[in-house]
Amino acid sequence: MTPFHEPEHQRFTLPTTPVSVLDYDLSGDQVVFTHTGVPPAYQGQGLAGQLVEAGLRWAQAQGLRVVPACTYAQSYIQRHPEWQHLVA
């Protein structure tokens, strides 16, 4: 599955039922990852990682700094130090 960016809702989604999401808030030159959610039936399949990765790629392309406010985004960035340079 490929994450879909919904900028009008400030989120990235995956087409699961219910939907899997990475919610964010924009604040100046920073994007705050506020929530990552994957339905229980889909957990453990790497979907949350796909969402955070998509958010990080987008932030990098937009020249934004990242504030990983949700615990999953924090742990993802800790496990993938190649994204550490984006952290505000």
Distance of CA 78 to the CA centre of its chain: 14
Mean pLDDT of the chain: 97
pLDDT of residue 12: 98
Q: Where are the domains of the chain?
A: 4-86
Q: Using an 8 Å Cβ cutoff, are 16 and 47 in contact?
A: yes
Q: Report, at the CATH architecture level, how domain 4-86 is classified.
A: 3-Layer(aba) Sandwich (3.40)
Q: Using an 8 Å Cβ cutoff, are 19 and 35 in contact?
A: no
pLDDT of residue 1: 86
CB atoms within 10 A of CB 82: 8
**Span 49-54, average pLDDT:** 98
**Span 30-59, average pLDDT:** 97
- Give yes or no for residue 17 having a pLDDT over 90: no
Task: Read off the pTM.
Answer: 0.95
